[in-house]
Amino acid sequence: MTNLSYFIAGYLVIFGLLGGYVLHLLTLKKRLDREQKELSRQN
Amino acid sequence: MLFVNKNLKLLSFLAFLLVVAAFAMVLFYAPIELNMGIVQKVFYFHVSAAWIGMLAFLVAAVCGILYLNKKQLKYDFIAFSAVEIGLLFTAIANFSGMIWAKPIWNTWWTWDPRLTTMTIMAFTYIGYLLLRRGVDNPEKRARFGSVYAIIGFASVPLTFFSSRLLRTIHPTIFGADTGDMAMIPAMYQTMAVSIVAFTVLFAALLWHRSLLAARESELEILRAQTEVLEFGEVLDD
């Protein structure tokens, strides 16, 4: 049975979602660092 | 960098190595199933993701109970993080399952009991994340989140047992009287490594996300204090 494209698509989705979540965490970390700097400057 | 301590760095590195090892086993060690062909290999990460999704919701419910008992906000941070990560893994299980289903069932989606209960479970926890945002007071939010996580957990056994108790086309691998899919030892070994890899990955992500949730909460308080100070200065002027 030739369903290689579905296999590739399946793992692209899996690693895409995992990678996307790690990127979300990195972006959140950067935003929190920036906000913390701004707030400590204001105080 | 996300890494704030050595143990978390080690755990994250271990999770990465295990996921790479599990994927290598899927590619080179697990045999191609005779009836379904290579697409069946989506199964290893699909099942692992579904299990971790349910484990994450269990962690959220346990942390909910702990928060209600001890009133420590750290349990709320862990519960919130577990729900967010649980939804990630549930989405992985759902989407990879749809891609597996298309060539095998000849449809992306069907309102089968397992798929339906899994969707109900996902929406239950999407509701948790959305409703939580509407509560400003951290303690009220934590109390609401805890109660929600405990009650919402009812959707997890419903999903788990749906393919065992109801008539369904979804295969049951573990805990069934008769196996719906013939599996040889190499398949079980790949499955076991995938589950371990995803469990370690879940632990690492949960640790990272909980630390970030704690920082978000600290900043929220700091921001509120700054606003009060600024308001006071405006009144003085």
List the 12-41 stretch of A: residues with Cβ below 8 A of B. Answer: 13-14, 17-18, 21, 25-26, 28-29, 32, 35-36, 39
Residue B1 pLDDT: 43
CB-nearest partner of B95 from A2, A13, A39: A13
- Nearest-Cα residue of chain A relative to residue B12: A22
pTM: 0.90
Q: What is the DSSP string of B124-155?
A: HHHHHHHHHHT--SHHHHHHHHHHHHHHHTTH
Write b or e for each residue in B176-212: b if 16 or more Cβ atoms lie within 10 A of its Cβ, otherwise e.
eeeeeeeeeeebeebbebbbebbbbbbbbbbbbbbbb
Write b or e for each residue in A14-24: b if 16 or more Cβ atoms lie within 10 A of its Cβ, otherwise e.
beebbeebeee
**In this complex, do A11 and B100 lie within 8 Å of one another by their Cβ atoms?**
no
ipTM field: 0.92
**Cβ-Cβ contacts under 8 Å for B204 (sequence gap 6 or more):** B8, B11, B12, B14, B15
- CA-closest candidate to residue B41, choices A9, A14, A5, A7: A7
Residue for token pair 């008992």: B69
pLDDT tens digits, one per residue of A21-41: 999 999 999 999 999 888 888
Compute the distance between CA of residue B56 and CA of residue B201 in angstroms, rounded to an integer.
12
Coil/strand/helix, residue B35: coil
Report residue B230's pLDDT band, with 50, 70 and 90 as the boundaries.
Answer: confident
Amino acid sitting at position B99: I
pLDDT tens digits, one per residue of B128-174: 999 998 998 899 999 999 999 999 999 999 888 887 777 777 776 66
Write b or e for each residue in B101-111: b if 16 or more Cβ atoms lie within 10 A of its Cβ, otherwise e.
bbbbeeeeeee
Residue A43 pLDDT: 67
